[in-house]
Every structure is written in structure tokens, then in C-alpha cells.
Amino acid sequence: MAGGLGSRFGGRTESMPKGFIEIDGMAMVERSVRKLLDAGIEQIIIGTGHHNEWYDRLAEKYPAIKTVKNEHFRETSSMGTLEVCAPYVTGDCLLLESDLLYDAISLFVLKNDPHSDVILASGPTHSEDEVYLQADAEGMLEKVSKKRNEIRTISGELVGISKVSKPFLDKMVEYAVRHHADMPKLDYEHAMEGVSQEGTPIFVRKVEYLAWTEIDDEAMLERALQQVWPRIRENESLRAVRREVLLNPGPSTTTDSVKYAQVVPDICPRELEFGDIMEQVSHDLTAFVADPKKYTTIMFGCSGTGADEAMLASCVPPNGKLLVVDNGSYGARFAKIASVYHMDMTVFKSSTYEPIDLGALEAEFRKQRYDALAIVYHETTTGLLNRIDQICPLAKKYGMLTLVDAVSAYGGMPIDMERLGIDFLTSTSNKHIQGMAGIGFVVCKNSELEKQKDWPMRNYYFNLYDQWQYFLKTKQTRFTPPVQTMYALRQAIIETKQETIEKRFARYTACWEILVQALDSIGLHMLVKRENQSHFITAILIPDTPKYRFEDLHDYARSFGYTIYPGKLGNIDTFRIANMGDIRPEEMQRFVPILRTYMHSIGVC
């Protein structure tokens, strides 16, 4: 709720809303938005009024935000703003004031409270602008007042953050509408009081020593800066997970919010609530690369290799002929999986570090009829990016199904399966999508998936069609899913939506450019030419000196919180630096001097 004039600030808020007053370089409302996103909130509705354009600009930065203007913000109060937002609320929600500075633990407390309707309270703040709450013996709200003498027993002070169900919110709106004439400037907390008094209670959850403050004037701002913000900053820093930057090709570095997303109440995965989460995750994973009306994502508890096996075992037609492109370890893995199933297969071998010869590949297409083509989008062995935009349309010309391992491409670069001519595409939860390891998935073209209905199963656990049909009917996987990993993936999807895949690719590219510039200055050489690289993984030829030992370089980098990875080519010695996951350009900037120092110590530069 951000419609107020902020008049108590005087001139400071004449040209901007008070929610944009900065604390330590960030506007209060933006800090709150970030905390909400970190807490797994997918949509943020901001009710605006005074200088609403500021919030509209914030919404351009954060796709989760929807702004709704209270055209009568001068004649109404916070409940008037909440009324214009309420029609856009579809379920349970958190209500927040826009001028709050608070410890993020507040959101955790409310999300985990078993009551459906909860108003957050604290112990004494001595802010001189307290709103007192009185609760009954069961902890349910009885009275709200700024006047101490109107409260029989103080149960806590109103913080300005609440959790309400949709029915309770609707009753708040009904209460407000009934009192438009006699209470035109009704505050939302008094609507809560009214609804509670009329028989729909709301629980008062008190956190005695909660660090928080409302900021309504200059004195409160000074108090926030000197007393409250230092406490919040310290409290939140104590919950930060030690940062390890993984420059290996997966699992990738994750945000703390993704890590903490796994800390949820125990739940049976057969509950509808969890089924709804899986359904949304499946939809969102599809929407990143394809039209959910034409494609669907099928998930398994497994690694990316498991997803590859599901795709090959399910999608190559019975007695069908498979062509596998092998230009690295993961193409070779495709071939190994197919051989285990005794598929009729031809392997097209190509250089591990040079682009695929399209003419030679098309010549192979002409030799005999192939039913399916299996190829890796981004060969993680070397960082070579295969020209799927040319290869898959060519395969479609020859009537082939296209099966693409996009484990190390999905989520890191824009992909349009329909435009690229991809029928089936695999990936995993722990690469560019920036979740935790444990979920492999296949994005499938529905029309091709339907053809598998009567095909004999090659594999029971990894059968795509059976998994799909069961999920459509039940919102469940056939076997127990990795529950906590699913919550982490949901959070990773929320964060991907906010960053966008286009901006994520730009961030990865910025990290890659920093690395490449450093390699040039150090005198190290890359295996793959720059123009053929993915910008995700760089294979670096080891220096020509007997003093080099990968273990020494690894351990030295690890002592600074960076993990690097050895090469994976049998005939060419390399080590690999990946910039996948939640890695920032400034972190790559800090890594390159570490690399330089080690190389200098062995006489390379």
C-alpha cells in the first residue's frame, strides 16, 4: 500500500513518494520488493497514488510488480488503496506498508505461522508513533489504537506486515464499502479490527525483539539510520550462507534465497498444494523456451543424464534408426545410452573444438533414412556451441525427430524450440536455471509426444508418455519427487523471470569477456575459437611448463572461494572455467588476479 502523500516529510516528498527515500543507497520500497522476491513471492501488487510514476518505473525493473493507482488517494487512506488492489488478488497474500524498514525474518515468520490470517506485532519500539494492538486470550485481535489509554492490555505494536486469506481480504473490502460515508479515510488496520470484531478473527503474532521501523518524518528517518538499520543489516548478515563461487560446469552457484527455499514445512508430495507447485513449475519451464499450448515439460527426479536417457528411451520410435552427433563427452554419452538399449544407431563423429561440418552432416542425412537425430546444443566438454539453428531445421527437412541435449544451454541463452525445429529438449535444475541439483526434465512437443501412446516401453521409470499422462490426471509424478529441490527450482524460476534470460546471457557474456581479456594478457590460449564459444564455459590449454599442476591451481583458487574444473578431453590437456549460475562480473574480476598470480608463480607471465 503506497498511495499516501507522505506530507509529514515536508519538502522531501513533494516530488516523490516517501517509499523512495533511500536507506544505505536503496529505496525502502525496492528493498522490500527484493525481500519479497527472495521469500518466494511471485506477484507484487503496489497500490499507488502520490507520484505514481515512480512506482511505474520500478515495475519496469521488476516484472513481478503490477501497479494499480488509487485515483482518490487524497480523499482516502490505506484501505482505499487496498480496495483498488483487492480485485487483482487471487489467493492468500501478504499486506505491507511501503514506508517500512524491516528484518526479512518478518516474512519467514508470517509464511510459517499456521494461522491463515495473521497480523505481525513487535515489542515496544519507543518510536513515538506506535499503533497498539489488543488481543484476546486466544491471541485474536480485539482492538487497534494509537491511544494507549484505549487499550486494556498491550499485546504488541503494529508492524505493518500481515498475512491474510482471500476471504478475509474480501471481508475487509466489504467492511470498507459499508463505511465509505462515515469513515472515508479508513486505515486498513481498522478494517482488520472491524472484521475481527464481527466474527472473523485475525491472529496477532508477536516477535518481541523484531528489528523494524516505519519512517514517516525526518526524526523517524534519523532513528532508522542510527538505531534500526544497523540491527537489521547485522541480523540479515548472520543468516547469509558462506559464498563459494563455482567456476565449474555445474552444479552452479546459487543465491541464498534458492538455498533457503528448501527450508519449508514437511509436506506429502501427494497433497494438492504441492501438485499445484509442480504444475506451475512445469508450465514455467516450458514457457522459457516454447509455447505451453504446444509443448509440455515432463520432470523426473534425476540428473541431466537421466533426462537424456528418458528422451532417447522414449522418443526414438520402435525399430527406428538414430543418428547421434558426437563432438564431445556428452554426444558420446548419447551414443552410450543408445547402445545400452541396443538401438539401431549411427554415430557421426566431429571435432571436439571446431564447428560441425554441415555439408558432411547433410551428406550423412542423405545416405540412409534416419528417424531421429540426437545432438548436444552446448558441448560442456569444451564450451563449443553447436549451430542448432542450422542443424535442426536441416534434420526436419529430412523428416527426422530432433532430440537436443540443452542441459548447459537452457536458461542461459534465448531458445525458441519451434523456431529452431526442436521436438524434444532436455535440461536440469542445477545449471543456468540456477536451482539445486536433483530434477531433470524434458520439454516435449505435444504432437510428437502423443505418437508414443502405443509404443512399447524401453524404460519404466523414465517413460515420458506415462509420466505425462499421469501428471495430467493427478498433478503428480508417478514416483516420489525431490520435494525440497522442487521448492528451490520454483524460487530459481521466480528469479529467472525477474532477471530475464536475455539479461542473464548478457551477464554471462560480461563475465566471459573479463576472463578472455585476462587470458590474453596472461598468455594462456583457449581451445575453441572465440566466435564458436558459448560464453558459458571456456576450455583453456594448460601452459607448457612442468611446474603446472591442476591440483595446485585448483587448491589455490579454492582458498579464495573459487572452484575450477579440469578438462575432459582424453587427447588434449585443458582446464575449464565456467561462468554459469549466480556469478557476477565483479566476482570474475576478483578471480582473474588469482589466476594471474598462480601462473606468474610457475613462470607463465
Architecture per CATH, 258-498: 3-Layer(aba) Sandwich (3.40)
pLDDT score recorded for residue 338: 98
pLDDT score recorded for residue 179: 97
Query: Distance between CA 192 and CA 169 in Å, rounded?
Result: 9
265 pLDDT tier (thresholds 50, 70, 90): very high
Q: What is the mean pLDDT of residues 170-198?
A: 97
* 513 pLDDT higher than 90: yes
> What stretches of 115-262 show up as alpha helix (H) in DSSP?
166-178, 188-197, 218-223, 229-238, 256-260
pLDDT score recorded for residue 250: 87
* 570 pLDDT higher than 80: no
91-147 pLDDT, tens digit per residue, is 999 999 999 999 999 999 999 999 999 999 999 999 989 999 999 999 999 999 999
Q: What is the mean pLDDT of the chain?
A: 97
Specify the domain boundaries for CATH 3.40.640.10 within the chain: 258-498
Element (H, E) at 348: strand 344-349
pTM: 0.95
Q: Please state which of the four CATH numbers 3.90.1150.10, 3.30.565.10, 1.10.3720.10, 3.20.20.140 is assigned to the domain occupying 501-601.
A: 3.90.1150.10
314-347 pLDDT, tens digit per residue, is 999 999 999 999 999 999 999 999 999 999 999 9
* Helix 78-85 / helix 166-178 crossing angle, nearest 10 deg: 130
| Range from 72-81, 355-364, 400-409, 560-569 carrying the lowest mean pLDDT | 560-569
Query: Distance between CA 157 and CA 122 in Å, rounded?
Result: 5
Query: Distance between CA 127 and CA 37 in Å, rounded?
Result: 28
pLDDT score recorded for residue 263: 96
| Range from 9-13, 183-187, 502-506, 549-553 carrying the lowest mean pLDDT | 9-13
* 569 pLDDT higher than 80: no
8 pLDDT tier (thresholds 50, 70, 90): confident
Cis peptide before 184 (omega within 30 of 0): no
* 6 pLDDT higher than 90: no
Q: What is the mean pLDDT of residues 418-435?
A: 98
Specify the domain boundaries for CATH 3.90.550.10 within the chain: 7-238
Q: What is the 3-state secondary structure (H, E, C) of 349-383?
A: ECCCCCCCCHHHHHHHHHHCCCCEEEEECEECCCC
pLDDT score recorded for residue 524: 97
Residue identified by cell 552427433 is: 325
Torsion-angle region of residue 297: left (phi > 0), alpha (psi -120 to 50) or beta?
beta
Q: What is the mean pLDDT of residues 582-594?
A: 98
pLDDT score recorded for residue 35: 98
32 pLDDT tier (thresholds 50, 70, 90): very high
3-state secondary structure of 275: helix
Specify the domain boundaries for CATH 3.90.1150.10 within the chain: 501-601
Give me the percent of the chain exceeding a pLDDT of 90.
97
48-95 pLDDT, tens digit per residue, is 999 999 999 999 999 999 999 999 999 999 999 999 999 999 999 999
153 in Cβ contact with 134 (< 8 Å) = yes
pLDDT score recorded for residue 440: 98
Q: What is the 3-state secondary structure (H, E, C) of 5-55?
A: CCHHHHHHHCCCCHHHCEECCEEHHHHHHHHHHHCCCCCEEEEECCCCHHH
Architecture per CATH, 7-238: Alpha-Beta Complex (3.90)
| Cell digits of residue 295 | 509443448
Radius of gyration (C-alpha) of the chain in whole angstroms:
28
Spatial CB neighbours of 313, under 8 Å, sequence gap ≥ 6: 337, 341, 458, 459, 462, 463
